[in-house]
Chains A and B, each alone.
Chain A
Amino acid sequence: DGGITQSPKYLFRKEGQNVTLSCEQNLNHDAMYWYRQDPGQGLRLIYYSQIVNDFQKGDIAEGYSVSREKKESFPLTVTSAQKNPTAFYLCASSIGGQAGETQYFGPGTRLLVL
């Protein structure tokens, strides 16, 4: 079955620690996205990538970093500079990153701070 997988389902971060969230897709999509979801705030775009080895900042990129070395993978690192990382993180992909395309979402990773 084609789809998007995110791991882990839950992730705990200690003070000053960097953590990496995994996102993998086997849909052969060129574009991939990372969103952060907080209660009552909807989704906010962190980073997106329309092609391998290229990515762009979204609305709330500070404290986060990404890489896109392979088409199927778009890992997100939450750095120690992100002072309020507790949230639900959603990865998505679309065929080519054009405006009208449907985005397909993974099941999400919930990040909690110890």
Chain B
Amino acid sequence: AQSVTQLDSQVPVFEEAPVELRCNYSSSVSVYLFWYVQYPNQGLQLLLKYLSGSTLVKGINGFEAEFNKSQTSFHLRKPSVHISDTAEYFCAVIYVSGGYQKVTFGTGTKLQVIP
């Protein structure tokens, strides 16, 4: 069965420090990978996605992620966080096999930026 794991439910980090939010997935088929951000009581907004090509993907708000096929990971990074980055971050994987596709979301990581 396909699964997406975000091991860290909460990540506290000081303002202007770097951060990495981890995402691992299980798969024996092709995948598309996404990171979304959710601010309190709002919908999700796309940060970035990997479909093919370069494994390093740059997104909005200074975030980037690297697709590592051998480690089945798609970790999200930012070199210097701001207070406004405080939110919950979701990794999502779309599994594709023939005409079949299935989306699976991780359980989310709450990023708390400390002033």
Contacts and interface: CB of A to CB of B under 8 A. Distances in A.
Interface of A: 4, 6, 35, 40-45, 90, 92, 99-100, 102-108, 110
B44 A40 contact: no
Interface stretch (B12-20, B45-53, B66-74, B79-87): B45-53
A105 B90 CA distance: 13
How would you classify the secondary structure of chain A's contact residues: helix, strand, loop or mixed?
strand
A100 B105 contact: no
A42 B94 contact: no
Contact of B44 (A6, A100, A105): A105
Contact of B90 (A42, A102, A108): A42
Contacts of A103: 44, 46
Nearest to A3: B43
Contact of A44 (B9, B49, B96, B105): B105
Contacts of B43: 4, 6, 90, 92, 105-108
